[in-house]
Amino acid sequence: MELNTALQKLKEYERRGFALSHASGLMYYDGDFAVYQQLCSEADSVWHEAKVKDDFSMFEPYLQKMFDSTKRMALYMEPDKRPYDTMLDNFERGLTASACDAFFDTLKKRLVPLMHKVVEHGDRVNDAPLRQSFPIAKQKELSSYLMDVMGIDRDHCILGETEHPFTTDFSKYDVRITTHYYENNFAASLYSVIHEGGHALYELHTGDELACSNLGRGASMAMHESQSRFYENIIGRSWEFCSLIFPFVKKEFSPLLDGVSDEEFYRMINKSSPSLIRLEADELTYCLHIMIRYQLERAMIDGSITAHDLPHEWNRLYKEYLGVDVPSDKLGVLQDSHWANGNIGYFPSYAIGSAYGAQYYKEMNRDFDVKAALSAGELCKINRWMEDKIWKYGCMKDPMALFESVCGKFDPTCYADYLENKYSEIYGL
């Protein structure tokens, strides 16, 4: 990094650090800080209990206070800035509500009609063969195989088990990923390993000169999700990758999948169906789940709705966008922990990261034939491209500047085109 660029970067970090310190000081002086700390410690446990009991009324006052307190914190940090823009910036530097509006408007216009076509007119995809009883021991062997296929350095990355899959890193030389195994749904662990493996590859390949420094990590939440969801979906759910791994899968779980063809496996893996739960959503509908959360938390911040309105508004949007009826708050507004933890402004990063992947794929194909590399099992070509373009920089560059240096201007229509082409072909639309 040139000296002037490095100095500018340092000044920006100092500015953000000062703003946060200033906000914390003001909140402490005004008595808000202690209240906020207590709220954060209480809200999560109340959310857990409310979810178990399916009782939103228990959590409602805590949720309202969490939004109010987070808004005050944002105003302390950036008094001349719209609070929600400050919240978005905390997770994705430079991201604004107006940019999110344009992004989600594009997806809404393209994906909602496409999803309804899949539901109403698409050929049926029977994924019953994937719902059989698959031995956990065999699933673990599959996970190990997948890590090798992805080119993950097993000397510096291990795989563990947990209730909810995640990735953590202590340095680029020590990265840990986890998965969860379901006996009657091996595809869940298959794709959680690929997803978390994408995160791991990013952290394992930051520049050596950045190791053990604040710059030796992913550039942002959206950039990290762009890697995990790129490997999980654009690579992992492609025809070429499914065809590559299916012989191993079929042999490993024989005779359970003996009657399933490569094409049938690919279609099963890519089955699209509107659902209630974000974490269970398919590639096509996932961003609609995020869009709903974005609209609701933005409305909470600008005051057009209150916490009391959230269950009704949540259910209304799920019916409008996904065509599903929400039977309970446990399966609806209480399903995510993010708001209980104060992570307001976090959700859009997931969708933006997904959209980044489509442009990576487009640019990558300018340099080499990605499908041919996948068919040959040469994911090393994909990894080298990512390392050269994205990974090695850590967080030396702002996320949008890093993305634009590789792909040019962010264009959500590229993502919509990708999904439209893929699912129209799968469902014969």
C-alpha dist (Å) from residue 176 to 143, 161, 272: 14, 10, 30
In the residue annotation, 120 being an active-site residue is answered as no
Question: Is beta strand 174-179 parallel, antiparallel or unpaired with respect to 167-171?
Answer: antiparallel
Write the DSSP assignment of 109-125 as a string of letters. Answer: HHHHHHHHHHHHHSPP-
Closest CA to 370 of 219, 221, 244: 244
Euclidean distance between CA atoms 47 and 336, whole angstroms: 9
What is the token pair recorded at 170? 């202590």
* Per annotation, catalytic residue among 196, 203, 225, 283: 196
C-alpha separations of 57 from 52, 64, 87, 134 in Å = 13, 11, 26, 40
Q: What is the Cα–Cα distance from 183 to 295, expressed in whole angstroms?
A: 36
Q: How many Å apart are CA 231 and CA 225, to the nearest integer?
A: 10
- Tally of CB atoms within 10 A around 166: 14
Count CB atoms within 10 A of the CB of residue 117.
15
Helix (H, G, I), strand (E, B) or coil at 427: coil
- Strands, E, within 103-243: which ranges? 157-161, 167-171, 174-179
Following DSSP, what letter does each residue of 82-109 receive, concatenated?
-HHHHHHHHHSTT--HHHHHHHHHHHHH
Residue 262 zone, left/alpha/beta (φ > 0; ψ -120 to 50; rest): alpha
Q: Which residues of 211-250 are buried (b: 16+ CB within 10 A; e: fewer)?
A: eeeebbbbbbbbbbbbbbbbbbbbbbbbbbbbebbbeebb
* Residue positions annotated with a catalytic role: 196
